[in-house]
Amino acid sequence: LKKIWDKYGDKILFIYRDFPIPSVHPEAENAAEAANCAFQQGKFWEYHDQLFARQDELSASTYSQIAETLGLDISAFNRCLNTKAYSKEIEADIKAGQDLGVIGTPTFFINGQMFPGVLSFDFMDKVITLLLR
């Protein structure tokens, strides 16, 4: 995705939605909540990248460690996380995904067409190039 952003910049609109699947990863909902709390402080993508890098060790202490590493206001972050400030938004994202037929992650929509699974840069590049003509 970073290569796509670097190449296309503001020519494309990228919208990220949460779709945690607890049956696959028991910490998925907590991780989504933590990433949204980082978003509140302008560090969503940095936090997101750290979650994926450390996905085999996700826990409350990992969420706090990542927040500290990124220089987040820990007090505000913990308050956000402990109150599940984004739970309704995450639930809405899940419902919207289910309504569109999403069953797993990642799933991409490009101009309304669903592409489930990991997409290569070359594939995404070709699709976007065609659509931008």
What is the tens place of the pLDDT at every residue in 22-63? Answer: 999 999 999 999 999 999 999 999 999 999 999 999 999 999
Determine the pLDDT at residue 3.
95
Q: In this predicted structure, what is the pLDDT of residue 23?
A: 94
Q: What is the pLDDT of residue 38?
A: 98
Residue bearing tokens 């997409």: 119
Which among 6-10, 75-79, 109-113 has the top mean pLDDT? Answer: 75-79
Q: Is 127 exposed, middle or buried (0-12, 13-18, 19+ CB in 10 A)?
A: middle
Q: What is the C-alpha separation between 118 and 106, in angstroms, rounded?
A: 6
At 102 the pLDDT is: 97
